Amino acid sequence: MASLNKVMLMGNLTRTPEIRYTPAGTAVASFGLAINRRYRQGTDTKEEVCYVDVTAFGAQAEAIGEYLTKGSPALIDGRLRWHQWEKDGHRSSKLDVVADSVQFLARREERPPEADEGPGDAADLDDQDIPF
């Protein structure tokens, strides 16, 4: 049976990335990502937030450490990883994301004003605007 382990997430960093190096000298960046979801429940608008830990390696990790800080928006393309460990007799486990690529996004206030205008907003799109 074939398997697929692929994740794409877009959100904001919850903390400034921590950079460390393996004994072999490979950079490792660790950071949290918050992904917001807004939805309607009756007449109310609700919001839920999903927090995900992300790890990146190599040159990508060094760039993350140099350019991203808490609150920075980013698009993550990667895979899920399962961790298990035991400490003081207690077993714990965690699911996180290993980033294959991280795309740095402009903060809303950094985008040019025309980026917020026109048919680029999802609410303004109709079926004729979608290329597929």
pLDDT at 107: 79
> Given a cut of 50, is residue 6 above it in pLDDT?
yes
Work out whether strand 27-41 and strand 7-13 pair parallel, antiparallel, or are unpaired.
Answer: antiparallel
In a domain, residue 50? The reply is yes
In a domain, residue 1? The reply is no
pLDDT at 119: 46
Question: How many structural domains are present in the chain?
Answer: 1
In a domain, residue 132? The reply is no
> Given a cut of 60, is residue 118 above it in pLDDT?
no
> Could you report the per-residue pLDDT of 60-95, keeping only the tens digit for each?
999 999 999 999 999 999 999 998 999 999 999 999
In a domain, residue 39? The reply is yes
In a domain, residue 12? The reply is yes
pLDDT at 102: 96
The residue among 29 and 111 whose pLDDT is bigger is: 29
pLDDT at 1: 87
Q: Give the CATH number for residue 40.
A: 2.40.50.140
CA distances from residue 1 to 4, 7, 15, 101 in whole angstroms, order as listed: 10, 20, 39, 27
In a domain, residue 2? The reply is no
Give CA–CA dist 82/71, Å, rounded.
Answer: 26
Burial 83-122 (b: 16+ CB within 10 A, else e): eeeeeeeeeeeeeebebeebeebeeeeeeeeeeeeeeeee
- Mean pLDDT estimate for the chain: 87
Identify the domain containing residue 96 by its residue range: 7-127
Residue 47: CB atoms within 10 A of its CB come to 8
In a domain, residue 112? The reply is yes
In a domain, residue 11? The reply is yes
The residue among 92 and 119 whose pLDDT is bigger is: 92
Which contiguous run of DSSP H or E holds residue 102? Answer: strand 90-104
- Stated length of the chain: 132
pLDDT at 71: 95
Token pair for 102:
């991280």
Which contiguous run of DSSP H or E holds residue 88? Answer: none
pLDDT at 131: 53
